[in-house]
Structure 1
Amino acid sequence: MKIFLYLENIDIQNDNPNFIALNVKEMKNIDENNFKNKTSWLCQEEIYELKNELKFKSIYHNNIILGVHAWNNQDNSEIEIKNDIGNFNRNLNHSFSFFFDTYNRNIKITKNTTILSKNNPVGFVGLLLASTEGNYHNENIDFKALIKENIEIEKEYNFNHLIPPIEWYKEIIDEYCSIMDPIKLEPLQNQINTLKTQLSNTQANSAKARIQNQLSYKLGQAMIENSKSILGYIRMPYVLSYIKDKHKQEQKIYQEKIKKDPSLKLPPLESYADYNEALKFKEHLSYKLGEALIKANNNWYGGVYQIVV
């Protein structure tokens, strides 16, 4: 074990600023009635509906605002920070829970500094502050020059020979996926085949079958089925992605068929005899879970699922 040498003691002085995570409850003129609990599929937070201007307690004066933690699920919302020097604005269209950097190290808190929402109330969680003292490391780094720089590590501290080539990891991962993916997807494929068999003879004459074949219902059903075991939770992202891709492919084929022969187009759901009874399926947990998942994906990533009903 003598090849593993201790590094020499390095005398490093911490010259960073002092950081403060400021919760909204520590602000001035808080209205306790404005606190709400918000939940997404990733987190649950207590937020403050920012309707009026909030100011800072004197103990936070002279600190700099680095970023804001907020929650928003409305269009055309905006948060504004104003101080003696100027103001900072940020549009928050459908961002849900997130933290954004102000990219401005000049927003110093004074007795006149306020934070407020414009157009619509914004869910406000807190801020990240830093003291004015300390090194903010604002120097510009020439990354191109850094790439060309020849950095040599002393032999006694160089352990690169212990790290295998990165290509090995890729080969191992690819081999693992080629073996495990069919195994993970087999239960799902069995479910889909069974469902297709059940629907094949009834879809043309049943609104229930049509709704069960919608992406919302299929995603929600898969979420419920795979939440019954730890293995199911692990494979759930693969399963949901597979269902989405498979559904998209099926709808593409359907569109191509009706383009060639319009008579194959399925009639409106309202024309089926079981339409009113079929609407109850949209109240099922399966449908609501899938619908919530699609909505969250559209809001966060701008994804679009084409669903033929």
Structure 2
Amino acid sequence: MYALIANEKVIKEADLVIIETNLNEYDNFVYDLRFDILQRDFEILCKMLANLNKPILFILLPLYVNNDKFKITNNFNLLQIKKYNFHFIDMQRYYDENNLNEFFATNDLFHQISPIMRLLGQNIALNLGKIGRCNLKCNYSVPKFLAVTLQDLFENINQLEKSVKSNSLFTEELYRLEGKIKLKFKKEFKNYTLVAFSVWNDDNSLGTFSSAIWTNKKTKIIKYCLSSFLMMYNLIENFVIDEESFLYFNANNQKQSENNLWIFLKDDCRNTLDCMQLANQILLVKPDENFTMNTHYDFQTLANLEVQIDEKYNFSHLIPDVVLFKEIIEEYNARMDPVKIAPFQAEIKNLKLELHQKKQNPIQTHLAHKLGRAIIENYRSFWGFLGLPFVLNYIAKKHKKKPAPLPCTENEKQILSYQLGLALINAHKAWYKGGYIWFIFKVLSLKKKFRR
């Protein structure tokens, strides 16, 4: 609503108005913004769009959730789209029908990957001439809204420190609300209701909590904000401007009186910033009978409703072939995953080997110990002694395929198994000099030594 009023000239000259609200409404609904307020604002928005009498295209973006609040939000959107003969693209239904939600649920659930949205925008641009006017049934009565600045609204705004902040879309004058300064509303706005205000706080490592207090003769509203984005927040309770209306920073961390986006009423909030940076986007309304909606919806019925809209208003065929994208990505991953994983698998294998070696006694990795241990275990039985040459040969061959033995000190090597195996290795190296005969005498000497 603010954008329609603040950009009236640009919008009147536009060939097409494209709008998406369902994810924002759902997010507010999740954080307990009353549905009657969402309903009122959305229906007024639709009337304002219909009164433009030009092509209007709603996009229902997809979200990977499965709860009644999201179904209620989308179905309510579709009911109003049908009522006012708007054109629409239902990406949520397309994703549901093709089982795409989980696959494209990236770390940013609320925004689809940019190539998909870029192609959707391209397809819309190429089909501009096919999207007709909204078939205005009548001129709808809407309340009188005003899009105002802080300079317009407050008598003493110049008491606040001013700065300028920019991003890729906005350049905004910001006013630092802090300390004990109270901003007084101008008399000319008496009896207007403050619908929404904008904040663009700086970020900090603790989060961007800041809060402010609105007071008039009858009302005191305390509201916290949690964001470092340029955001427009609505007031839930009606705040009617009178001659005693003020706005000031909640320096004492008084408890919030109403919830906000990303903040529940039950949350125990505290300022992490020593100010609130007010932006120049404010929406007022002169309440009348058109600002109150009497329609009430049964949530269970609305959640399970199948809204049928004439296909001539449905431009969902402009959605890119996301099913094909999914197939391409899956095949690419099937080919590339083994390639990408191979270095990690090799590293895991090496780490497992290192871990295994660390768990072993270093002496057990030496051939001498292995041979000596086999001699000790087999010489006591006739059949063991008879098969010992084959066992020793097998151990020697298998040892060649093992990694290099772990280092041992000389003291660690002074055990019977190692000395026995070492004697056998030396005897084998000198077999042509009678090494095996020498080995028999060495065995008797070791037996005598280790018996002591």
TM range (shorter): 0.3 to 0.5
Normalising by structure 2, we get a TM-score of 0.33
Normalising by structure 1, we get a TM-score of 0.46
